[in-house]
């Protein structure tokens, strides 16, 4: 089921519009198994609010975004109950077994709501609640005229080690991995709706391909997404200790 919040509409843009619109898509159907929270981590309390509320608030401050679509699990009972519905936010209960499944379902929902295949979609992790609106704006400006699109990312600063994986209790260094030209991927990741939908469909049909983010699906089509420098604070809240760090960072920010 797909629904629009508070009378919002994604009606197709006028043919005379100067350029395609930008939509945010937030996959929010995970169970948060690694977070150690009671229930899905996106709804865990963080600095007095559900984690995903901070994510949606940050996206709401990006003027270049026409609207946001949140992809929920079909049986999600938390989103509306926690008062997370807001103007400019639509909900699609098309969440799947994997992130790629949820995003693919969300893209179909965007199109059904009136977005166009050549409009842009910025897929953003619900658990990246510390994203800064200015970073999202920087991504849009860098990619809006790009033939492929791109993603926020950071060049790796640490020395990288690959383990021998001999055993879980006694892992040892097998080799040092060169960090030159290595980046850690963040979100949002920004691509044309139609192109990303086709790439995800092709990727999901391949048993030999692990689609860990949207860029990997595009790369599998022979494309090279643009890397746009993100922020260190744009971490993905994944492990129990991440909650304490995220709370400190949020409380240290000035109110919007």
CATH of residue 27's domain is: 3.90.550.10
Q: Can you give the residue range of the structural domain that contains 202?
A: 2-251
The C-alpha atoms of residue 172 and residue 161 are separated, in whole angstroms, by 9
Residue 171 domain-assigned (yes or no): yes
The C-alpha atoms of residue 11 and residue 255 are separated, in whole angstroms, by 33
Tell me the pLDDT tens digit for each residue of 178-200: 999 999 999 999 999 999 999 99
Rounded mean pLDDT, 125-153? 97
pTM of the entire structure? Answer: 0.91
The C-alpha atoms of residue 256 and residue 60 are separated, in whole angstroms, by 11
Tell me the pLDDT tens digit for each residue of 81-100: 999 998 899 999 999 999 99
Residue 227 domain-assigned (yes or no): yes
SS3 sequence of 152-207: EEEECCCCEEEECCCCCCCCCEEEEECCCCCEEEEEEEEEEHHHHHHHHHHHHCCC
Q: Average the pLDDT over each of 83-87, 126-130, 231-235 and give the range with the smallest value.
A: 83-87
Residue 229 domain-assigned (yes or no): yes
Are 85 and 44 a contacting pair, CB within 8 Å? Answer: no
Residue 256 domain-assigned (yes or no): no
Mode of pairing for the β-strands spanning 22-27 and 173-177: unpaired
Number of domains into which the chain is organized: 1
Cα dihedral 10, 16, 22, 27, rounded to 10, equals 30
């Amino acid at each position: 089921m797909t629904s629009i919040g508070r009378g919002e509409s994604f009606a197709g843009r006028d043919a005379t519009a100067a350029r395609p619109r930008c939509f945010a898509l937030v996959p929010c159907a995970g169970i948060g198994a690694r977070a150690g929270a009671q229930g899905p981590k996106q709804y865990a309390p963080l600095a007095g609010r559900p984690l995903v509320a901070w994510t949606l608030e940050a996206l709401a401050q990006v003027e270049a975004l026409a609207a946001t679509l949140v992809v929920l699990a079909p049986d999600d009972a938390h989103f509306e109950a926690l008062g997370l519905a807001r103007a400019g936010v639509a909900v699609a209960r098309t969440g799947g077994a994997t992130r790629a499944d949820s995003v693919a379902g969300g893209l179909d929902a965007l199109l059904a709501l009136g977005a166009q295949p050549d409009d842009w979609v910025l897929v953003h992790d619900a658990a990246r609640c510390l994203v800064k609106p200015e970073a999202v704006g920087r991504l849009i400006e860098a990619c809006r005229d790009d033939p492929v699109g791109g993603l926020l990312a950071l060049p790796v600063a640490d020395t990288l080690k690959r383990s021998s994986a001999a055993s879980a209790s006694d892992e040892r260094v097998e080799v040092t991995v060169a960090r030159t030209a290595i980046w850690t991927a963040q979100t949002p990741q920004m691509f044309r709706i139609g192109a990303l939908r086709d790439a995800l469909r092709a990727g999901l049909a391949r048993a030999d391909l692990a689609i860990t983010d949207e860029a990997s699906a595009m790369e599998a089509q022979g494309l090279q997404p643009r890397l746009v420098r993100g922020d260190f604070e744009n971490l993905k809240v994944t492990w129990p200790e991440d909650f304490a760090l995220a709370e400190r960072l949020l409380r240290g920010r000035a109110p919007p």
